[in-house]
Structure 1
């Protein structure tokens, strides 16, 4: 899929560069109008009438300008300006004859209104008013971005994106896999298109559909596909868009959203991350924010109860945390269906990879079935990132096609980080890493229930100094006790190889120990696989959220039970280490051969591990 970098029609234009100079230019012009007259003009000398007459009789006056009110402006023979006032109350004084006698140029003027004088007086004020008006417009635009259209008057309007019927683009064909999910969603589309089929049998369409699942599984993409298939108006809004700092705004926006949907019916309302507004009520938090969220949720419940099902308005919501939603929101009549959009299976990952590879020059050696086997637990977003990283890797190496090696390198980069092109380890460190990874690989190769070895490398990647990659033969949904015990032995294989060959362990097994301890704790606490505790489960986390992490707030068992759990976890780890040591002792020749091969080639595949075991005369020990 290509991305057009041009702006779509109707997109806001960028601000012209010249606008940034408006404020500085206005300030400079205002200061110039205020200060320039003072700087460019000199104050004329003011004479009394007697002094003026003296100057005339002395022949120092060159010209005068007299208005009808007796104000005199003139210049002396030296060029200096002066002003005075004639005593009009005294009547005729013979001044005219004196001026003529001394050859003074006389000009008569009339006092009155001057537009230029008025403009010069009020120009600074006009500029200041214009400056305040312009800054006010800027401030109003900023408020509009926060409160929505209409400034504070439109703060309660729902800011939902509306996808009209003329512009649907995504279809179910763009969503690979998830056939069962698309079947349930398709019934919503069919109801919106042909409601009479359901009404003939007395059936009513669903009011709400809740999509739950881990991040990146395509919940929003499925909702967009519904808009494209149904060809009805599609109103999309995020759950966080309802809650603001102003109390009552969220409820107002909910009312506005549903009113808009009714006007456009039949229509679809899509609320992404609904847990932002539909969180369970009755928490410990007290304050305006909590009151605002509860008011918003109450309005949502009322609106979903209030609209007529025959009106053709369906609400689709998505969340990663269904365990945090209020029970009143999930009951039938509001969200009638809860559709789980889980991580894709191997067959679905193959289809997703094929969709994301459209338009890319993929080499003939790429088998998406193999790539999907190597990506268990990847979501749709992870697979899209994998294809993109593979294309980037091909460009970096100067190739015109994306090959299988590019997908392999992209997977390693996503899981492990950037791999160094040359081993920067010290010779003794390189030997220790080779022994460690050989231990993992051989224990996995000879354990009957472990996943097959795909690749072994001692090239550092991210925080890992080496890696042993295993690929499952098939997609697993249930894990037996034998598989889990083999997994523990494989995790302890690196440490066991160090103890066997070097006589001591190193810090390189830290991640292996943490991973093995976590698996052993689940076996004891959650899976009931400890004879000492029996078939009792103590889940580490409660709820059904799909987001990783989260701390255990309370321990649902006593101190004595915790002590027994710790003892059982330690027993499982000791037994796994002893088993790994026993396997490596029986395959010591293969361990030494694989260590030497890794030191020489740095990266080998699973076939090389099998050949070494066969060459050592222990092919009967290979897993079947």
Structure 2
């Protein structure tokens, strides 16, 4: 459907007066320059040059008084003229031998004798005027370049850079005649986000429908969210769905080393969009030019000029009617307030990490074209990947395919997905002989402690898998898979999570009587959770129902500066309560494992024998029965 883009719009601005014609002498610059270049190149070689004479022959000719004029320079060059009675008085050139041992006193005494050589001259090394000109050529080129820049600046050409080809022009990629193949069908989930974006496209395509209701078109749509959530993919889908021109550019593409280039490119971008209005402009990573002005110690004039020009183009004295600006950023908190006010980016769309159903849909999209085995369950894979973005899920399927190819298979199995997930989260798996036998038993005891505390705690997430195969920096892993994706956690669930994190150290204390360095990450994780429980969630009786936001470090002149909104006494209370929670969690884990010592030994033997056991085996051992008909025994805290 074709839309009349200019119905109801303000009249076009009057055309600017034509620039004065260039002076007539300018047309002769190029021919004269070419002519001078040819003369400099070929003039030295024109005509017959002086005769080349061997030094030995020249010495004999001097002794025979056949030389009239001779010039000897410091670099060993000998030039001169023969006597008119010898060889017609022609010029010659020779060279004093550099490999000569000592000084040729006979030759020098002869050339200094006026009766032998009437005209003799000894001078320093000299160069030709052509060599001097070539030596000055780089300086002349730089001088000409800056004179050209100054000339352009006096004419007001984009801060002195409009005349340089491509510098003041916008680098926006116009997606018009050939649109991307990406559509909203390729964007799984995010129905609310797609609805907000689709309304903008629909407004441009059916402006009269909204005008009848008195609705005003939004000037801009800002998509914000973590990296990899599909913001750029949504923009490409808009380009595939819309029937209007689509201009795409990154924020860093506006800014170069020359001041004024960014503002010139913004003007050029909006000028091109007005010619094709209605149109969509998409700016990826807009925080490159849209950060708060004056937020740092040193200002960036180029970036601020670019931002000011963007603000004026979006909502200034010359509004860009019929133009919708879409932008994407991972850091909306850093953007300037003037950019986020109504009239600029009217609509802000949050693109969060996908939920479990959305992860299932995204995995299905990326599984298209791949051969999945019968044991692959995308619902299970979606439950096992909380916190994964769309890009992470795409990488997961690709890594699983790589694992299958490595084993000379074309079919992806559930084990391939599990190994790919470990590769993304933990890193590359180490070799089988990475650990000593004593270290392997220590890791088995440690991971058994994590798994059993989780299986014996009703509020903890079920155990999915336990392995003692080292991957990345982890010597072993206990994986828990929540039955449902939670967004709220109770105090009981967080206390159970603390006990599970201290379960590895508790098992070491029960079996070996001492801890090890393997619990360092567990202690840091438990301390972080306990700190948030006390400081943010109000779960400490000593501190009371107060909440302080997390300390976010700020950087001033390269130095990290951390500020907090409470006193030293409050910090002392927080430290005391955090230590109490961690100690109580360790006590809970140790008591559970001591009361179930046979189960701890049994699970340790299973890990040493098989290296990896499933959650069903863990729960069966914890319940004191086999995997068939396993029931969880009640545990008293």
Same fold flag (TM > 0.5): yes
Q: Is the 8 A contact 1:445 1:623 kept in 2?
A: no
- Which has the higher mean CA deviation after the structures are superposed, 531-540 or 241-250? 241-250
- Aligned residue pairs total 512
Which deviations, in whole Å up to 9, do the C-alpha atoms of 1:186-221 show, x marking residues without a partner? 101111111111011110111000000001101111
Distance 1:207 1:622, change over 3 A: farther
Q: Using the alignment, how far apart are the partners of 2:318 and 2:633 within structure 1? A: 69
Equivalent residue for 2:563, pick from 532, 548, 554: 554
What SS does the corresponding residue of 1:562 show, helix, strand or coil?
helix
The Cα shift of 1:283 comes to 2.4
Which deviations, in whole Å up to 9, do the C-alpha atoms of 1:108-128 show, x marking residues without a partner? xxxxxxxxxxxxxxxx99xx9
Question: Residue 340 in 1 paired to residue 345 in 2?
Answer: no
Under a length normalisation based on structure 1, what TM-score does the superposition of the two structures give? 0.75
Question: Residue 376 in 1 paired to residue 381 in 2?
Answer: no
Which residue of the partner structure matches residue 619 of structure 2? 610
Which residue of the partner structure matches residue 601 of structure 1? 610
Distance 1:310 1:281, change over 3 A: closer
Q: Using the alignment, how far apart are the partners of 1:524 and 1:148 within structure 2? A: 59
CA RMSD of aligned residues (A): 3.6
- Which has the higher mean CA deviation after the structures are superposed, 340-349 or 393-402? 393-402
Which residue of the partner structure matches residue 437 of structure 2? 427
Q: Is the 8 A contact 2:463 2:478 kept in 1?
A: yes
- Which has the higher mean CA deviation after the structures are superposed, 612-621 or 483-492? 612-621
Distance 1:42 1:284, change over 3 A: closer
Distance 1:38 1:218, change over 3 A: farther
What SS does the corresponding residue of 2:222 show, helix, strand or coil?
strand
* Mapping of residues 72-151 of structure 1, within 5 Å: 82-83=87-88
Equivalent residue for 1:350, pick from 345, 350, 360: 360
Question: Residue 196 in 1 paired to residue 211 in 2?
Answer: no
Which deviations, in whole Å up to 9, do the C-alpha atoms of 1:453-485 show, x marking residues without a partner? 111011111111111011110111111111111
Larger RCO (alpha carbons 8 Å, 6+ apart): 1
What SS does the corresponding residue of 2:235 show, helix, strand or coil?
helix
Which residue of the partner structure matches residue 496 of structure 2? 486
* Mapping of residues 440-519 of structure 1, within 5 Å: 440-519=450-529
Which residue of the partner structure matches residue 571 of structure 1? 580
Q: Is the 8 A contact 2:623 2:631 kept in 1?
A: yes
Which residue of the partner structure matches residue 249 of structure 2? 237
Which residue of the partner structure matches residue 227 of structure 1? 239
What SS does the corresponding residue of 1:311 show, helix, strand or coil?
coil
Which residue of the partner structure matches residue 312 of structure 1? 322
**Bigger radius of gyration, 1 or 2?**
1
The Cα shift of 1:156 comes to 2.3
Q: Using the alignment, how far apart are the partners of 2:393 and 2:341 within structure 1? A: 34
Q: Using the alignment, how far apart are the partners of 1:179 and 1:399 within structure 2? A: 36
Equivalent residue for 2:369, pick from 359, 382, 388: 359
* Mapping of residues 154-193 of structure 1, within 5 Å: 154-193=166-205
Of Structure 1 and Structure 2, the greater helix share is in 1
After TM superposition, where is structure 1 displaced by more than 3 Å over at least 4 residues in a row?
A: 36-45, 81-85, 147-151, 306-311, 614-620
Q: Using the alignment, how far apart are the partners of 2:45 and 2:452 within structure 1? A: 89
Q: Using the alignment, how far apart are the partners of 1:237 and 1:366 within structure 2? A: 40
Q: Using the alignment, how far apart are the partners of 1:38 and 1:452 within structure 2? A: 99
Q: Is the 8 A contact 1:269 1:315 kept in 2?
A: yes
Distance 1:312 1:40, change over 3 A: same
Question: Residue 325 in 1 paired to residue 335 in 2?
Answer: yes
Q: Using the alignment, how far apart are the partners of 1:564 and 1:360 within structure 2? A: 56
What SS does the corresponding residue of 1:456 show, helix, strand or coil?
strand
Which deviations, in whole Å up to 9, do the C-alpha atoms of 1:239-269 show, x marking residues without a partner? 1222333222222222111111111211111
What SS does the corresponding residue of 2:315 show, helix, strand or coil?
helix
Under a length normalisation based on structure 2, what TM-score does the superposition of the two structures give? 0.74
Which residue of the partner structure matches residue 229 of structure 2? 217
Equivalent residue for 1:436, pick from 408, 426, 446: 446
The Cα shift of 1:323 comes to 1.0
